[in-house]
Amino acid sequence: MHTLTTIETAHDMYLHLRATLRDVVPDVELRYKAELAAEINVLKRERNAIILGHNYMEPALFHSVADVGGDSLELSRQAATTDKDIIVFCGVRFMAETAKILNPTRTVLLPSAHGGCSLADGITAADVRALRARYPGVPVVTYINTSAEVKAESDIICTSGNAARIVNSLDSDTVIFLPDEYLAGNVAKETGKTLIGWTARCEVHDKFTVEDVANVRAQFPDTVILAHPECRPEVVDVVDFTGSTSAMIQYVERSTAPRYLLLTECSMGDNIAAANPGKEMLRLCSVRCPHMNEITLEETLAALQHLQYVIEVPEDVRLRAHQALSRMLAVT
């Protein structure tokens, strides 16, 4: 979580961004973005809106207009409890849908017409029904990176921050765990339970290999390597720490090591570097999430100006998805 930013003048915003991001964003970009960010904060107040920003948001947006920054679990909790009229979700569609499911009387805006995710796009509600028919009585745990329709077919939801805890909370040694093949492998190892999985993968985390880790260790032996649990299990086996995006941020903040490599989306390395000036983040990052990167300051301003893109979830789907999400929030 980071400081609340309510700055409404371009000059003050520029000074704030320069103090925070001078080592990660060029000055000319900071000046331009400060103007947009100040305009957004004025409109945010006038419209009685809250902006939730996922940890993968680009540094200038993350540090200027997001009232709350965090991982999927933290942002779900914020979305569920906010009393603001409008929730602007700077993240991807499944996150904005989750906000609408949990807090249906608010207007939820996604500053992108698409905001997909290869995991959410990798499974349908019909797929879940077919698995239930094949394995009757086996509980279904579904990752939050899924559509509202898929959540509605599930018994309980999990995030990267609580997946093992959710699986352990169930009174069953066999669990259907959807849709991330690698997360299922990692959670199976951690819990010792039998997980019946699916074949979807995160197109970003799929790219990191054991060889990448070995190369960095050979070149920079004092580097602490962190990976998101959407990485392949064999990669998770050889790194120093695995956790949700926020767990990785907290790990770097608490650790005293001089150098880190993050096997996750590139913007997070920039955000962590900005928050930890004395620590070096190895800039070997070449993998960006194209869906998260659709969210820009320009699109966020347009979202507040034109009230776009409004997220709606059919009420019958919402009620069933709400049940699965509430069960998760009760466990954690």
Least distance between ligand SF4 and beta carbon 42 (Å): 29
Which of ligand SF4, ligand 13P, none does residue 155 bind to, with CB < 5 to 8 Å depending on kind? none
Nearer to ligand SF4, 99 or 117 (CB): 117
Q: Which member of 49, 86, 99, 119 binds ligand SF4 (CB under 6 A)?
A: 119
User: Which parts of 140-159 interact with ligand SF4 (CB under 6 A)?
Assistant: 145
Interface characters, 240-279, with ligand SF4 (x: CB under 6 A): -------------------------x--------------
Sign for the CA dihedral angle at 272, 116, 181, 149 comes to: positive
CB 260, min distance to ligand SF4, A: 19
304 lies in the site for ligand SF4, by CB under 6 A: no
| Options 61-69, 196-204, 255-263, 303-311: segment touching ligand SF4 (CB under 6 A) | 196-204
Stretch in the footprint of ligand SF4 (CB under 6 A) among 35-43, 113-121, 169-177, 322-330: 113-121
Q: What is the 3-state secondary structure (H, E, C) of the chain?
A: CCCCCCCCCHHHHHHHHHHHHCCCCCHHHHHHHHHHHHHHHHHHHHCCEEEEEECCCCHHHHCCCCCEEECHHHHHHHHHHCCCCEEEEECCHHHHHHHHHHCCCCEEECCCCCCCCCCHHHCCHHHHHHHHHHCCCCCEEEECCCCHHHHHCCCEEECCCCHHHHHHCCCCCEEEEECEHHHHHHHHHHHCCEEECCCECCCCHHHCCHHHHHHHHHHCCCCEEEECCCCCHHHHHHCCEECCHHHHHHHHHHCCCCEEEEECCHHHHHHHHHHCCCCEECCCCCCCCCCHHHCCHHHHHHHHHHCCCECCCCHHHHHHHHHHHHHHHHHC
Q: How far is the CB of 204 from ligand SF4 (least distance, A)?
A: 4
Which of ligand SF4, ligand 13P, none binds 291 (CB below 5-8 Å, type-dependent)?
Answer: ligand SF4
Binding of ligand SF4 by 200 (CB under 6 A): no
Interface with ligand 13P (CB under 6 A): 55, 71-72, 145, 159-161, 202, 228, 230, 244-245
Which CB, 158 or 321, lies closer to ligand 13P?
A: 158
Among 90, 152, 289, 328, indicate the residue that binds ligand SF4 (CB under 6 A): 289
How would you class 239 by CB atoms within 10 Å of its CB: exposed for 0-12, middle for 13-18, buried for 19 or more? buried
- Which C-beta is closer to ligand SF4: that of 118 or that of 162? 118
User: Does residue 96 touch ligand SF4 according to CB under 6 A?
Assistant: no
Give the nearer residue to ligand 13P in terms of CB position, either 64 or 160.
160
Residues in touch with ligand SF4 (CB under 6 A): 92, 117-119, 145, 202-204, 230, 265, 289, 291-292
